[in-house]
Amino acid sequence: MLYGIVLFFIVTGIRKRFNLSENSGTRVTIVVPVRNEEAKITALIKSIISLDYPKELLELIIVDDESVDATALIVKRVTEGYDNFRFIPVIESPEIPKGKARALDTGIKAASGEVIMITDADCFLPTGWVRAHLKYYRDEIKMVCGFTTVSGEDSFSAFQAYDHFYLLGIAAGMTNHGLPVSCIGNNLSFRKSAYEMTGGYSSYPCSVNEDFYLLHAIRELDAKSVCFPPDPSALVVTDPVKSVAGFLKQKKRWGSTLRDVPVHGLFLIITAFATNIMCLFSGFSFSSVSLYLLSLKIALDYFYLRYLSGAFSINKRLGTFLLFELVFLVYLFIVPFMLLMNRKVEWKGRTS
């Protein structure tokens, strides 16, 4: 019952309507940190070139985070002739350890835009991405979070798409109620002035989840400063993780901020964890009550995810949803123990 109430609360947040602004004259800088992305960066840059936004108001800064492959050569070749595209090296900073946060800080400090937009090298942006974010910037809004889905039609990719929608839907619903928990760093925008007011990444804890700390730092500026709309025009597509081991590492990385999650976030985590663990073990008892509770939980998740995927006009197979339910139950049980045994996380060849 509690799980159902929580999902209802989240859906009411997702359904929140926002007052929109045109903001068509706003100067925007897209910052992309890259580290050994020779296989992926071309597709991202081409999607940026295709963005429906005046080129004189759009700046792209790609920050090279010590790549040792052909990333630099590819970027320079693909961006040749585009005066508003810049490729710069990461700047050493004693205050920010090596990693994505340092690369982002380098790009943000070099940016000329009033609004900073962040994405990753393995993403593909819709043509209306910039305008979709900008229309939510009213006076009090300082950050806009967006949804990301996963490409691919195989079962493992489709499962990851469900997983993204499930988690980002919770994040969106809570954020729009003024209770942010998390966001995703490959579909994010914020006012540069807000970033500067927070002190920037040098003021946040050292983490591979720099977007989490930026979200909460900006939220501290104003209780109504962040919004998380389910806008199809802002939906970013990213590559799927290729292996189960890689997927579990991703979940461990995302879960590494657990010690800094606010109270309402801990309540959500405990509720979801307890509900799923009860369902996991009740599935082995075969009692009528256990099977009823398991069926109820699956039905709640189905209508929740059906609503979310419908909002983005994305249809996934029922069989994939059932796979998601099964795997989600298992990995939600495994990941906390992975963190307890070893809190170190690996990202782009670096461990923190």
Question: What is the number of domains present in the chain?
Answer: 1
At 287, the pLDDT band (50, 70, 90 cuts) reads low
Q: Which residues pair with 124 in a beta bridge?
A: 237
* Residue 184: how many other CB atoms lie within 10 Å: 22
First to last CA, the chain: 39
Q: Classify residue 85: in a domain, yes or no.
A: yes
Q: Classify residue 62: in a domain, yes or no.
A: yes
Q: Classify residue 337: in a domain, yes or no.
A: no
Q: Classify residue 302: in a domain, yes or no.
A: no
352 pLDDT above the threshold of 70: no
Going from the C-alpha of 20 to that of each of 138, 225, 229, 327, the distances in angstroms are 7, 14, 11, 39
Spell out the residues 6+ positions from residue 317 whose beta carbon is closer than 8 angstroms to its own.
158
Average pLDDT over residues 273-297: 73
344 pLDDT above the threshold of 80: no
Alpha-carbon gap, residue 238 to 43, rounded angstroms: 11
Highest mean pLDDT, choosing among 4-13, 91-100, 126-135, 337-346? 126-135
pLDDT in tens, 170-202: 999 999 999 999 999 999 999 999 999 999 888
77 pLDDT above the threshold of 90: yes
Percentage with pLDDT > 90 across the chain: 50
Average pLDDT over residues 115-119: 97
Alpha-carbon gap, residue 92 to 99, rounded angstroms: 11
pLDDT in tens, 93-111: 766 666 788 899 999 999 9
User: How many residues are present in the chain?
Assistant: 352
Backbone φ, ψ for residue 100 (5° rounding)? -60, -40
Q: Tell which residue, 215, 47, 95, has the closest CA to residue 146.
A: 215
207 pLDDT above the threshold of 70: no
For Cα atoms 200, 96, 140, give the angle at the middle one, nearest 5 degrees.
10
Percentage with pLDDT > 70 across the chain: 90
- What's the pLDDT at 263? 85
Record the tokens describing residue 123, joined without a space.
């993403």
Q: Classify residue 161: in a domain, yes or no.
A: yes
Q: Classify residue 323: in a domain, yes or no.
A: no
CA dihedral (61, 84, 29, 253) positive or negative: negative
Alpha-carbon gap, residue 138 to 116, rounded angstroms: 15
Going from the C-alpha of 243 to that of each of 194, 248, 326, 333, the distances in angstroms are 38, 9, 17, 19
Q: Classify residue 204: in a domain, yes or no.
A: yes
130 pLDDT above the threshold of 70: yes
At 3, the pLDDT band (50, 70, 90 cuts) reads confident
Q: Classify residue 269: in a domain, yes or no.
A: no
33 or 153: which carries more pLDDT confidence?
33
Spell out the residues 6+ positions from residue 68 whose beta carbon is closer than 8 angstroms to its own.
36
Going from the C-alpha of 227 to that of each of 50, 249, 269, the distances in angstroms are 26, 28, 21
Q: What is the pTM of this model?
A: 0.91
- What's the pLDDT at 348? 66
Q: Exposed, middle or buried by CB within 10 Å (0-12, 13-18, 19+), for 192?
A: middle
Q: Exposed, middle or buried by CB within 10 Å (0-12, 13-18, 19+), for 42?
A: middle
Tokens 């943000």: give the residue. Answer: 108
346 pLDDT above the threshold of 70: no
Average pLDDT over residues 245-255: 83
Record the tokens describing residue 121, joined without a space.
């090298």
- What's the pLDDT at 255? 76
Alpha-carbon gap, residue 128 to 50, rounded angstroms: 9
For Cα atoms 47, 51, 52, give the angle at the middle one, nearest 5 degrees.
155
Highest mean pLDDT, choosing among 19-23, 231-235, 278-282, 329-333? 231-235
- What's the pLDDT at 188? 97
Which of 130-134, 179-183, 215-219, 222-226 is least confident?
222-226
Helix/strand/coil for 117: strand
Highest mean pLDDT, choosing among 22-26, 52-56, 151-155, 346-350? 52-56
Spell out the residues 6+ positions from residue 105 whose beta carbon is closer than 8 angstroms to its own.
91, 93, 96, 200, 201, 202
Q: Which domain holds residue 66?
A: 27-248
- DSSP category for residue 205: P
Q: What is the CATH number of the domain that holds 216?
A: 3.90.550.10
- What's the pLDDT at 320? 80
- What's the pLDDT at 252? 79
- What's the pLDDT at 345? 62
128 pLDDT above the threshold of 70: yes
Alpha-carbon gap, residue 105 to 198, rounded angstroms: 12
